[in-house]
Structure 1
Amino acid sequence: MTTLLAAPPLFDQHDPDDLLTTIRSGVRSRECLLVAEWAAIVRWADHHVLTTPADAPTVRDGVIDTGVALAGAGTPLISDHHLSELVAALGRSPQAGRAFVGRVVECAWRLPRVYAAVATGRLAPWRAERIADLTRPLNVEAVAYVDRSLHPAASCTWAQVERLVEEAVCRHDPEAAEARRRKAADRRRLSVEQPDATGLIEVHGLLDAGDGHDLEQAVRRRAAHRGRLGHAGSRDVRRSIAVGEIARRDLTLDLEGHTDDGQEIRAPGRKVVLNLHLTTDPANPVARWADGSCPLSVAQVREWLQVSGTSVVVRPVVDLAEHVPVDSYEIPDRLRARVELRDHTCRFPHCPIRADRCDLDHATPHRDGGPTCPCNLVPLCRQHHRAKTFTARRYLPLSPGTYLWRSPHDLLFVVDHRGTRPVDVGRPIPPDAWACTPTRADAA
């Protein structure tokens, strides 16, 4: 019987701090090699550009050389004959190699700020490739807007990038955005399958975002109500029962209108709240749906508001920098709303949990004189609220909405409205600077 010889351990003498430093250094080294590869590809593309479409099919060395468009509008045609040679040198398949070179060309020619972030090591190449995949269909104005707005791109979550691209299309190519929205709306469906042997049934659907929001609110409310009444089923079971209750209730309603035989029917109006943010600036024809965390076209908002029975409530603009403290430890809804509008998500590094699903933490504890004020309230999801309370993780508010975090091994991160980015410092921040956020053990 043979045994496999284990590789000798490489880091026997490393403590956890050394291991973290080694890992981070390795990440940087790997990305430096990728950046060098990108720079070489861009230089290669410069040497193999066909300057005009008329030059695309040319004969070089006895063979037909066709120019191909690897990226979006405004990028040059690249020599197809030489492209196959580059793909082979990259060690990629023809299809994957063309797609990869196209993403590099998209960044270099149409996303100069994103490409500069890659070249200077501020943005991982794989993130830039994903951005390029999204921007390739955009027109010149829309892609320029995305490039200007992605700063610094390294700190944006993927959901933020996708929403930014959608906003760019709404702003700079509204006809295409509306055509795409209407085409997507034609895919709406709802199917109820046949019951299986156990008496259960599968339901599948694709709904309008507003209709889906209404359904989710109704199902969530009814499921919670059944739980308060003592129903022993799980949350998912209670939600499934709630859908049936909603359907049976609808069968008892009077609906507005007339059937083919002249019978009068009635339908209830929308009763839930959609928080939409829309400016009067004609240069910004994009609304934001707070609950859905996504941009919307004005046409979509208009369609929702035309639903029979819909009412519109215009709320005053909220100054998110205003200080409005209260004396109590409990946080009133008006302060919570300000913090949620300011921070949007949990402020722990890289956490995407929405702020309206988070706890609000007093940065300076209330028992130590910290005010119950938006300037001292930070949204943290339950998991990261506990991590901050029971472990050595700490944060310092640098300004409203901007926080500096320190991990137990002294890794530093800045979290703000642009996302999370690591911070390298030559010397550690003095421990006294973190004294305003003691551990639970310290507090005891």
Structure 2
Amino acid sequence: MTTLLSAAPLFDQHDQHDLLTTIRSGVRTRECLVVAEWAAVVRWAEAHVVTSPEHAATVRDGVIDTGVPIAGDGAPLISDHHLSELVAALGRSPNAGRAFVGRVVECAWRLPKVYAAVAAGRLAPWRAERISDLTRPLNAEATAFVDGALHDVTSCTWAQVERLVEEAVARHDPVAAEARRQRAADRRRLDVDPPDAAGTVRVHGLLDPGDGHDLEEAVRRRAALLGRLGNDAPLDVRRSIAVGEIARQDLTLDLEARDDDGRTVRVPGREVVLNVHLTGDPDNPVARWEEGACPISADQVHEWLRLTGASVVVRPVVDLAEHVPVDSYEIPERLRTRVELRDHSCRFPHCTTRTDRCDLDHATPHRDGGPTCPCNLASSKYTLASCLVYRAPSSRADYPPLSDKRNDGWALPRRHVVRGHRLHTLQP
């Protein structure tokens, strides 16, 4: 029989509100202790700087010494001889300890804005550590770009952070970015394994982003068509059937056929839709692919446009600060688009769900006079007016319009009002 050890006697006189208050107080205390630990590590590092690379602490990959300093170019070299003492005091393993110290040093010297945000309690230390892991191999210009863009970001997903680092490399080290793109392109492949004992075949590979997008669209459309034609199999099964049907359809094509006029039949080219953001930098080498939600290099765009029949659609810039209210309660698609362009994630505290996957609702309820306008619309996985979470009515007048991207107040059922995360629009 398993005995469940409980700390209930410690809180037997606490109601639900008191328990939440205790938990929140503990979270703040823990965060303060972590920030204090960071400050102590930085002070220790300042006292143990060496000038010779032979005596500097380096990154370890298992039992292999890579010879790479624990922090990026421009950060001080830390004494390897004294580092073991600090790692022991931190209670970490040798490899994990030197990696942690390297991240803190990277933030303190190469990401000063990120470090200041950690010290002020605006940015979680674990998030800063993950950012520093990505910036360590970057040059100083690319690192400064990441520092300026992410130092006050609390709502980005990890995928968005990685994309921003890719953009920084493309902007400030284009030669390395193009070499990385070419290496990735050389790894493209598509494998169809032999049938297994269950009578199924595993397909896996690595494709060009444009090819992957086209394949996904074709499979999605064919799977939906199969459903409309009466195939009641689950969607995943219909998608697998769709791949086979697309392949069989290709086998029936006479690629050398000519039309009635004797002209060669051409396969329509891909349509590349570019959302063009006008900036003051005409030499900006980075584009943003909306469907892929990631930055791409100008060379990649040129390669796509060289395909036969490719076309470009240039869309006008949308003024996201413009007020365009409508009289109805229903939110038209054009207003939803504005909110999706303004807010990159859900407004609920600490939620990073993309806006296009959330519902929209009125921050000030429509029945209370709240307009159906982007300045009063917020994206959330939860209903703003529900009993679970909503914008705090008692302090609604103290908050700016949602278009200002400041923190929103959310009232919880247990009489707690919490602050939402700041929304930070990354530059295209």
Category of TM-score, reference length = shorter chain: 0.7 to 0.9
Determine which of 383, 394, 409 is the counterpart of 1:404. Answer: 409
TM-score by length of 1: 0.80
Q: Kindly tell me: are residues 42 and 374 of structure 1, through their superposed partners in 2, closer, same or farther at Cα, counting changes over 3 Å?
A: closer
Gaps spanning 5+ residues in structure 2: where? Answer: 58-66, 259-263
For the pair 1:40 / 2:40, whether they are aligned, the reply is yes
2:400 counterpart SS class: strand
CA distance in 2, matches of 1:3, 1:99: 39
Aligned equivalent of 1:394: 390
Q: In structure 2, do the counterparts of structure 1 residues 332 and 120 end up closer, same or farther at CA, with 3 Å as the change threshold? A: closer
Over the matched positions of the two proteins, sequence identity in percent amounts to 71
In the TM superposition, what is the alpha-carbon distance from 1:245 to its structure 2 partner?
2.2
SS at 2:409's partner residue? Answer: strand
| Structure 2 CA distance for aligned equivalents of residues 43 and 370 of structure 1 | 52
RMSD between aligned residues: 3.0
Give 1:253 deviation, angstroms: 3.5
Instruction: Name which of 414, 423, 426 aligns with 1:417.
Output: 423
Q: Which is further off, 40-49 or 145-154? A: 145-154
CA distance in 1 between counterparts of 2:340 and 2:77 reads 47
Paired amino acid for 2:413: P
For 1:112, the equivalent position in structure 2 comes to 112
How far apart, CA to CA, are the structure 1 residues paired with 2:401 and 2:53?
Answer: 52
What residue is the counterpart of 1:60 in the other structure?
none
Map of 1:184 onto structure 2:
184
- Distance in 2 separating the partners of 1:350 and 1:267: 47
Cα deviation, residue 355, structure 1: 2.7
Deviation at 1:133, TM superposition (A): 0.6
CA contact (8 A) 2:103 2:129 kept: yes
Amino acid in structure 2 at the alignment position of 1:337:
T
SS of corresponding position for 2:126: helix
- Mapping 1:218-257, distance limit 5 Å: 218-255=218-255
1:175–1:412 Cα change, 3 Å? same
Classify the secondary structure of the residue corresponding to 2:317.
Answer: coil
1:320–1:338 Cα contact (<8 Å) kept: yes
SS at match of 2:360: strand
Post-superposition Cα deviations, 1:356-391, rounded to whole Å, max 9, x if no partner, equal: 33333244455555444333433334xx23xx3542
Which sections of structure 1, spanning at least 5 residues, go unmatched?
58-66, 259-263, 420-444
2:140: which partner in 1?
140
For this pair of structures, how many residues does the alignment match?
Answer: 400
Displacement after TM superposition at 1:102 (Å): 0.9
Aligned-partner residue type, residue 104 of structure 1: V
Structure of higher RCO (CA pairs closer than 8 Å, 6+ residues apart): 2
Task: Indicate conservation of the 8 Å contact 1:69/1:76, yes or no.
Answer: no
Indicate how the Cα distance of structure 1 residues 392 and 335 shifts in structure 2: closer, same or farther if over 3 A, else same.
Answer: same
Query: Which letter does structure 2 place at the counterpart of 1:413?
Result: R
Specify the alignment match of 1:167 in structure 2: 167
Q: Distance in 2 between matches of 1:291 and 1:408?
A: 38
Say whether the 8 Å CA contact 2:114–2:150 is kept in structure 1.
yes
Q: Secondary structure at the match of 1:312?
A: strand
What secondary structure, in the 3-state scheme, does the structure 2 residue paired with 1:109 have?
Answer: helix
1:24-39 matches, cutoff 5 A:
24-39=24-39
Report the TM-score when normalising by structure 2: 0.83
Which residue number corresponds to residue 305 of structure 1? 305
CA distance in 2 between counterparts of 1:54 and 1:195 reads 54
d(CA) in 2 for partners of 1:302, 1:346: 34
Residue deviations 1:66-90 (CA, integer Å, cap 9, x gap): x982210011222221122222222
Counterpart in 2 of 1:423? Answer: none
- 324-333 or 165-174, which moves further after superposition? 324-333
> Please, which moves more after superposition, 174-183 or 278-287?
278-287
